[in-house]
Amino acid sequence: MASRDEPEPATGWAPTWALGRAVLLTGLLLIAAVLFGRVDLVVLATPFALGTAYALRRRPTAGPELEISAGDAHLVEGGPMAATVAIGNPDTVSYDVAVVRTRMSPWLRVERVGFGGAGVEVARSGGADRPFVTSVPTGRAVDLALSGTALRWGRHPIGPAGARVATADGLLVSRAVITDPVRMRVYPRTEPFEAVEAMPRAAGLVGAHHSRRPGEGGELAGVRVFAPGDRLRRIDWRVSLRARQLHVAATLSDRDAEVVVLLDVLAEAGRSGGVNGPASVLDTTVRAAAAIGEHYLHRGDRVAMLEYGPAARRLRPATGRRQYLTVLEWLLDVHAESSPHEPYDQVFGPQVLSADALVVVLTPLLDERSAQMLARLARGGRFVVAVDTLPADLPPPKDRGWAEVAYRLWRLDRDTMIGQLREHGVPVVRWAGAGSLDQVLRDVSRLATAPRVGTR
């Protein structure tokens, strides 16, 4: 038995002002007819009473149902997007008016909206948070179709959506039904990227890169005397007949490489304009990471992802198409986060980076700790390539006074820091899509294969 302090369960339906006015007007006419003995007032009150009673002859018992669904779970920024907000009527009474309203992420530009059941198509130039009105028959559902363009990568919400319906000729209105938002995943658009085949050092057993170790590969390393275990198809008959001793063709093994893409997320700069607008630091970082990962995974290499920031998120190295989809999913959660502490020890724990891995660091070089991290990796014998992700057209501050002078001094200090990194053996190159790392990878590969001279 419920106590008196507990609220009564809501019925889900409430009277409208129209019902209140009809009842009030009927009551006032009947009272006036009794007080003044006017029969004509009773005649005037009869249509209001009969109309209200006829409209309320079948009262609704169930509220509307609302659901949000995304059309495609794998979207790419710049591509078309589609979503549906469905409002259903599980009751035996039709809904005369249904008002649907939903929120949309600003990075999901809705261009057209249409009610499939009602056959109404509306051209849109603004957001999708305006109310849309339709009617819902008994036992049916009407879909509000939203179509447009996904402007930027990330997890963008569609919703929450709300709906209210009116029935009984507008005398009863339902309580607002609100549904939870649905996250639409928009993957970054992969910029065209190609790199040379030379890698600093191949680490795996099989792959597409030529190593310096002998093995079953495709590159000829010379001719040597036949030894136990050599395959017969490797015998060089011309040399064997001339030397009167079996000789075989020696080859170099083909091995895969491990590429670690390190994302510097300590700072963000620039304003994102979407896929066709200006790119911020995070935009360039995420798109470049997706392009580099796709290139090396397509070649059969192992690719790992790592964040240089307080969260220190990491993705273990793997290969194949499954790893590429995992990389795209991992990149959706990248966001800039500053930290007052040095994240080096937290990011580079024990056995995080392989000694033979190529480390591609995507950094805007806005934080001094990022430069120190690059220098420490180079001193530790790692093969490091720094990719500058700071927008080239970053506008100076518009404040008056010393703002422009301070901006120039900051630019000079940053150029000096880049020069010091190059002196420490860290190549710094600006991201420019295809061919961005060709010359840098050639230099790193040449340094890796060069003999090291010890110093006393």
Q: How far apart are CA 30 and CA 41, in angstroms?
A: 7
DSSP 235: B
CA distances from 174 to 177, 298, 380 (A): 8, 55, 68
The domain locations on the chain are 65-187, 253-449
Helix (H, G, I), strand (E, B) or coil at 114: strand
What is the rounded CA–CA span in Å between residue 9 and residue 379?
70
Average pLDDT over residues 263-275: 89
pLDDT at 221: 58
State in Å, rounded, how far the first CA of the chain is from the last one: 91
The whole-angstrom separation of Cα 3 and Cα 7 is 9
pLDDT interval class at 50 (50, 70, 90): confident
Give the integer Cα–Cα distance in Å for 29 and 17: 18
- Smallest CA-to-CA distance from 16 within 65, 55, 46, 61 is with 55
> Between residues 440 and 247, which one has the greater pLDDT?
247
- pLDDT at residue 324, as a whole number: 92
pLDDT score of 270: 85
Which among 352, 313, 344, 350 is positioned nearest to 329, based on CA atoms?
Answer: 313
The pLDDT, as a whole number, for residue 205 is: 43
**β-pair type (80-88, 141-150):** antiparallel
For residues 120 and 298, the model is more confident at 298
Domain 65-187 fold = Immunoglobulin-like (2.60.40)
Assess whether pLDDT exceeds 70 at residue 252: no
Q: DSSP state, 233?
A: G
Q: pLDDT tens-digit profile of 195-235? A: 554 555 544 444 444 444 454 544 555 777 878 877 777 78
Q: Is residue 129's pLDDT more than 80?
A: no
Closest CA to 167 of 350, 18, 328, 273: 18
Q: Give the whole-angstrom CA distance, residue 348 versus residue 253.
A: 31
pLDDT tens digit string along 378-424? 888 888 888 899 888 777 777 666 777 888 888 899 889 999 888 88
- Fold for 253-449, please state it: Rossmann fold (3.40.50)
Q: Which two tokens stand for residue 184?
A: 């639409």
Question: What's the rounded Cα separation, in Å, for the pair 437 and 428?
Answer: 10
- Residue 221 CA to residue 219 CA, distance in Å, equals 6
Task: Return the minimum-mean-pLDDT range out of 21-35, 235-249, 430-444.
Answer: 430-444
Q: Is the pLDDT at 101 greater than 80, yes or no?
A: yes
CA 290/CA 137 separation, integer angstroms: 48
Residue for token pair 């500053």: 338
How many CB atoms lie under 10 A from the CB of residue 122? 10
> Which pLDDT belongs to residue 327?
94
CA dist., res. 204 & res. 215, Å (int): 13
C-alpha span between 365 and 38 (Å, rounded): 90
pLDDT tens digits for range 349-380: 766 777 778 889 999 999 889 999 999 888 88
Whether the CB-CB separation of 239 and 249 falls below 8 Å is answered with no
Cα atoms in the Cβ-side hemisphere of radius 13 Å centred on 282 = 20
Whole-number average pLDDT of the chain = 79
Q: How far apart are CA 160 and CA 163, in angstroms?
A: 10
Beta pairing class for 182-187 and 154-167: antiparallel
Neighbours of 91 (CB within 10 A): 21
Please, what's the largest Cα pairwise distance for the chain? 139
Summarize pLDDT for 277-297 with one digit per residue, the tens. 888 999 999 998 998 888 888
Percent of the chain residues past pLDDT 70, beyond the cut: 80
Cβ contact 313:343 at 8 Å = no
Contact between 176 and 164 (Cβ < 8 Å): yes
As a whole number of angstroms, the distance between CA 294 and CA 327 comes to 9
Of the pLDDT bands very low, low, confident and very high (cuts 50, 70, 90), residue 437 is: low
Lowest model confidence (mean pLDDT) among 5-9, 141-145, 368-372: 5-9
- At residue 180 the predicted structure's pLDDT band, cuts being 50, 70 and 90, is very high
Distance, CA of 185 to CA of 325 (rounded, Å): 12
* pLDDT of res. 328: 93
What gap in Å lies between CA 426 and CA 440, rounded to an integer?
10
And the tokens for 55?
């409209």
Range with the lowest mean pLDDT among 29-33, 91-95, 219-223, 302-306?
Answer: 219-223
Instruction: Tell me the pTM.
Output: 0.75
Nearest to 300 by CA among 202, 190, 437, 214: 202
- Residue 454 is predicted with a pLDDT of 44
pLDDT band at 155 (very low <50, low <70, confident <90, very high): very high
